[in-house]
Structure 1
Amino acid sequence: MLTTMTIKGIHFHAFHGALEVERELGQVLEIDLSLSYDVEPKDLDSEKVPPVADASVYEIVQKVVMTTKFKAMEGLALEIARRLIKAYGVVELVTVVIRRRQLFIPGDVQSAEVEITVDREDLGE
Structure 2
Amino acid sequence: PTTGEVGGDKLILRGLQFHGFHGVKQEEKTLGQKFVIDVDAWMDLAAAGDSDDISHTVSYSDIYRIAKSVVEGPSRNLLESVAQSIVNTTLLKFPQISAVRVKVGKPHVAVQGVVDYLGVEILRHRKTEIKVILRVATCI
Same fold (TM over 0.5): yes
Q: Which amino acid aligns with 2:115?
A: V
Q: 2:102 aligns with which of 86, 90, 96?
A: 96
For residues 83 and 44 of structure 1, the distance between their equivalents in structure 2, rounded to whole angstroms, comes to: 28
SS in 2 for 1:2: coil
Computing the radius of gyration from Cα coordinates, the structure with the larger value is 2
Contact 1:32–1:98 (Cα < 8 Å) also in 2: yes
In proportion to residue count, which structure has more strand? 1
Runs ≥4 in structure 1, deviation > 2 angstroms?
A: 38-44, 46-50, 104-110
TM-score (norm 2): 0.79
In proportion to residue count, which structure has more helix? 2
Return 5+ residue gaps in structure 2 as ranges.
1-6, 131-140
TM-score (norm 1): 0.87
Corresponding residue number in structure 1 for 2:59: 53
For residues 76 and 103 of structure 1, the distance between their equivalents in structure 2, rounded to whole angstroms, comes to: 17
Matches within 5 A, 1:1-125: 2-41=8-47, 44-47=50-53, 49-121=55-127, 125=130
Sequence identity percentage: 23
CA deviation string 1:37-82 (max 9, x = no partner):
1244487312452421011111111111112221110111001000
Return 5+ residue gaps in structure 1 as ranges.
none
For residues 70 and 45 of structure 2, the distance between their equivalents in structure 1, rounded to whole angstroms, comes to: 27
SS in 2 for 1:32: strand
For residues 58 and 42 of structure 1, the distance between their equivalents in structure 2, rounded to whole angstroms, comes to: 19
